[in-house]
Structure 1
Amino acid sequence: MTFLGITLDTLTMTLCLPDDKLQDLLQTLPTWLHRHSCTKRELLSLIGTLSFACKCIPAGRIFLRRMIDLSTTVRKLRDTINLSDAFRLDAKWWCDFLPTWNGTASFLDTKWTPSRDLDLYTDASGTVGSGGYHAGHWFTVAWPDSLQASIEWKEMYPILVTCSIWGHRWHGRRVLFHCDNQTVVHIWKKGTTRCPDIMQLVRSIFYVAAKGNFHVMIAHVSGIDNSIADALSRLQIEVPSIGARSGCRPHTCTNATMSIPLATQQLTELATAYIHNSVAGNTRRTYQVGQKCYLDFCSSHGLATLPVTSRTAILFVTNLANRGLAYRTIKVYLAGVMHHHIERGYADDVTTHALLQRTLQGIRRSIGEVRRPRLPITIDLLRRLKECLRQRADMCSNDKLMVWASFTLAFYGFLRVSEFTARSPTEFDVNATLLARDIVLTDVIEIRIKSSKTDPYVRGHTIHIAPTGTSVYAVRAYGKYTGNRGYMCPEEPAFQFVDGTWLTRQRLNLCLRELLTQAGISDAKMYVTHSFRSGAATTAAEAGLADWLIKTLGRWRSDAYQIYIKTPRETLDVVPKAVATRQQFDIGLSSRWTMPTL
């Protein structure tokens, strides 16, 4: 059967490039190696023919990248393009590969096969060597003293050796390699790097993959999870009479004893979990953004990623400042980079370097620290939101009651949004999300917060909310919501829409903005989900509650709560007169409003 010009054989599960297309490529490609220029039309025609061949040779797509980039240097089809050395390298790959290929390829698996399913691991040591392991077979390579190569090159070398030795076993597979170097993963996903030596390895791996009719992808795995290959890379093996070795020639063997006993492997896996849990999930995700920026920066400037030196860190933060990032963002990104540095086993913390500290201080003084203004949600505003919510015709009664219950609990409980919302509409963290069983409703509400920003060691905290007897009544609001909903699974999030999805930060923020706009609040964008917590602190201060009590209610460990308290305009208007007349300063707030019982 022929489909889109490709011959498909469903009995042998193969696809074949038409013979006339293959012969045309074999005849025309060598002539391109000797050409110095061409028109854009001619180059696009060649790219189109090779793209067609890539339907049978997926690994060949990377060797079109520089051809495509070259075709974009001019606009008109008749314009002349000077062929670059990079173009000739791509063309030469095709010239080397096509004569060895019979034009037929097997269907590749629809899913990627993780290297663990193949019992396949690779790793490299910066100073000792590299190694790989596959289904009881392994190899080691000892680095010669004369070798001058980056750690990224050394990490990618055993992948090439692995493909060369065992690639014939993976015919038709999509093999997902695991590597403990994020830079290697980044280079592979981009398909290019400024380092010619690493690029040569990338091209070689794709050549072997194309000949073996398999496809390769590289994903990151923590170094401590890669214990077998890590031991091989450090030559921690027991081999009877290996003999002297020199150069980068791999030594392979099937009968050898690894120097990592089973108990050590189990301890290694446990240590991995502990290291992973040393940082909160949200913090780790934020760090990953900074790490990606760092990898992009190092790749584009030809800098080694690890170990992180003071010079690299200074250039990195300078680049971020030049791009217009806020000072606080720069600090977070730098913390993410250093987290990656430490996880990779490097002990030196360059953030304490005097020159880096001065650079950060200079950035802070130059660009300042701009804080986006955020307004608090007060009792009066909550009453207006309640009325607007009641008028919403596009929401069912369950969703209205659920949203109002979340508003009141967030306010009276001084809750952070991450403490009562789910991670996504369909996923939640049982150890962090507020579940139905975490809220006990009697004549009061008892909320059990399992973990929070200020409770990283999961000691937990119980919040007590008593009745108020006013229209903003958390106990009654949550009681109406649960009564309307009926049965609630105790192991699921407490706040659930009628369509079965969970309440998330994004959904809550969207609903809040819509209600504020409906209420005619002109600066609705200055209110966020955190405005409930800051509004509770502001209202408590207006009611004259003691500082220690506000800190207790909000579970603040320092005086940071004071930044959330917004001083009313009428309070500021009293100050000049009180100072001028030396009268006792009395803002008179308690006579106008009393904080409800919490």
Structure 2
Amino acid sequence: MPDPTANPRLKQIVEGACRMTVTQPDQRLPVTSELLGRLPSKLHLTSLIQYDQQMVWAAFTMAHRFLFRVSELTSPSPTAFNPSATLLLQDVCWNDTVLQLSIKQSKTDQHRKETTLFMSASEAPIIYNACVTYAQQRQHRQPPDLPFFINSSGRFLTRFDLKHALKITLPDGEDRARYSSHSFRIGGATSAAADGLSTEVICERERWKSSSFKRYIRPQRNVLNLIIFVGGKKKSSATFYMSATAVADLGVL
């Protein structure tokens, strides 16, 4: 009996039905710059020791600033990793002014060409300090050819760990069910757009090959964008939502 699914007419009908399928809106909420700045207060109250708090905070800020896909930042399991994909300590370099990350491959990199990302200390001081503070501690604990994110017990940071850490540090009143580890990438794109960055700049900085990042943009809950002037230069208030006490408790100042 001939295979009915091999009928060309049937294939056309199936393809047409697929095109007519209504895509459900993405219900995940973003970790915006404003929300990111409120996470340390709850993180400090967890049972994690200071080193693990610094690791989680560095992962939060790095995922948000560089719009990392979770697979680029974490390991597939607490005891195994993919050296050709996972971010390792040897992929991270820093000095007093610049943080540099080498990304070995990504979803949009079909030819697996290494990409180098940069961030200056003056551009985003809180994020720079969070990443460098953790990196300085990390380099004395485990070899450089192991994942960058390793906790005090020697276990690699996983997607589940990152998601769980976010859930327990969200402020009261947030709908935890609508946040995931991908909320950092969504929030980073949302915040970049809110800061007025052009499509070209966002695509280049965040490794998008098209304007597909626009589907990540979420409406801002605070329509008023307060502007603070520091040293004569305009700064977005989102950078300063975090209290100095909360940051100092994490040892990143």
| Superposition TM-score tier, normalisation by shorter sequence | 0.7 to 0.9
Aligned to 1:521: 173
1:482, 1:467 → 2: CA distance? 14
- Give the drift of 1:522: 3.1
Relative distance call for 1:388 and 1:534 in structure 2 (3 A) is: same
Aligned to 1:493: 147
Q: 1:562 aligns with which of 208, 214, 236?
A: 214
Deviation at 1:364, TM superposition (A): 5.4
The whole-number CA distance in structure 1 between the counterparts of 2:112 and 2:18 is: 36
Q: Please give the secondary structure, in 2, of the residue aligned with 1:445.
A: strand
SS of residue in 1 equivalent to 2:102? strand
Contact 2:5 2:11 in 1 (8 A): no
The structure-2 alpha-carbon separation of the partners of 1:357 and 1:503, relative to structure 1 and needing over 3 Å to count, comes to: farther
**Contact 2:190 2:216 survives alignment (8 Å):** yes
* TM-aligned CA distance change 1:455 to 1:386, over 3 Å: same
Equivalent residue number for residue 135 of structure 2 = 482
Secondary structure in 2 matching 1:496: coil
Task: Work out the CA distance in 1 between the residues paired with 2:82 and 2:45.
Answer: 33
Q: Which residue of 2 aligns with 1:356?
A: 11
Whether 1:312 aligns to 2:29 is: no
2:93 and 2:100 in contact (8 A); partners too:
yes
- By how many angstroms is 1:469 displaced? 7.6
Which one of the candidate residues 80, 84, 103 is aligned to 1:427?
A: 80
Choose from 438, 453, 456 the match for 2:110.
Answer: 456
| Letter paired with 2:144 | P
Asked if the contact 1:421/1:495 (under 8 Å) is kept, the reply is yes
CA distance, structure 2, for counterparts of residue 436 and residue 525 of structure 1 = 32
CA pair 484-460 structure 1, distance change in 2 beyond 3 A:
closer
1:5-24 matches, cutoff 5 A: none
SS in 1 for 2:37: helix
CA distance in 2, matches of 1:505, 1:495: 11
Whether the 8 Å CA contact 1:402–1:481 is kept in 2: the answer is yes
Amino acid at match of 1:312: T
SS at match of 1:368: coil
Partner of 1:505: 159
Superposed CA RMSD in Å reads: 2.5
Structure 1 residues 550 and 416: alpha-carbon distance in aligned structure 2, compared to 1, 3 A threshold: same
State the secondary structure of the residue aligned to 2:204. helix
1:370 equivalenced with 2:63 (yes/no): no
For residue 289 of structure 1, what is the aligned residue in structure 2? none
Alignment of 1:68-147 (within 5 A): none
Counterpart residue type for residue 554 of structure 1: E
Map of 2:231 onto structure 1? none
Give the letter for the 1:433 counterpart. T
Work out the number of aligned pairs and report it: 230
Give the alignment of 1:381-400 within 5 angstroms.
381-392=35-46, 394-400=47-53
- Residues 473 and 558 (structure 1), Cα distance of their counterparts in 2 relative to 1, 3 Å cut: same
3-state SS of 1:411 partner: helix
The answer for unaligned runs of 5 or more in structure 2 is: 229-234, 240-253
Q: Check whether the contact 1:374–1:527 (CA below 8 A) recurs between aligned residues.
A: yes
The aligned counterpart of 1:401 is 54
Larger Rg: 1
Matched-pair contact (CA < 8 Å) for 1:543–1:590: no
User: Residues 38-437 of structure 1: matches in 2 within 5 Å?
Assistant: 311-312=4-5, 353-362=8-17, 365=20, 368-392=22-46, 394-437=47-90
Does the aligned pair in 1 maintain the 2:190–2:217 contact within 8 Å? yes
Residue deviations 1:478-520, cap 9 Å, x none?
222133342431110000011111001111111111212xx21
Q: How far off is 1:415 after superposition?
A: 1.0
- Secondary structure of 1:473's counterpart equals helix
**4+ residue runs over 3 A deviation:** 588-593
Which has more helix, going by share of residues?
Answer: 1
1:447 aligns with 2:101: yes
Which residue in the other structure is 2:126 paired with? 473
Q: Sort the Cα spacing of 1:469 and 1:463 in 2 relative to 1 into closer, same or farther, 3 A.
A: closer
Q: Larger relative CO (CA 8 A, sep 6+): 1 or 2?
A: 2
Show CA shifts across 1:564-595 (max 9, x none): 11133565xxxxxxxxxxxxxxxx74857638
Whole-angstrom CA distance in 1 between matches of 2:19 and 2:178: 24
Contact persistence 1:542–1:590 (CA under 8 A):
no
What is the match of residue 245 of structure 2? none
CA distance in structure 2 between the partners assigned to 1:363 and 1:562 by the alignment: 23
After superposition, the Cα gap between the structure-2 partners of 1:515 and 1:590, relative to the gap in structure 1 and judged at 3 Å, is closer
- Provide the C-alpha distance between the structure 2 equivalents of 1:569 and 1:479, rounded to a whole number of angstroms: 31
Displacement after TM superposition at 1:359 (Å): 1.9
CA contact (8 A) 2:167 2:176 kept: yes
Please, what TM-score do these two structures have when normalized by structure 2? 0.82
Take 1:483 and 1:363, find their aligned partners in 2: how far apart are those partners? Answer: 51
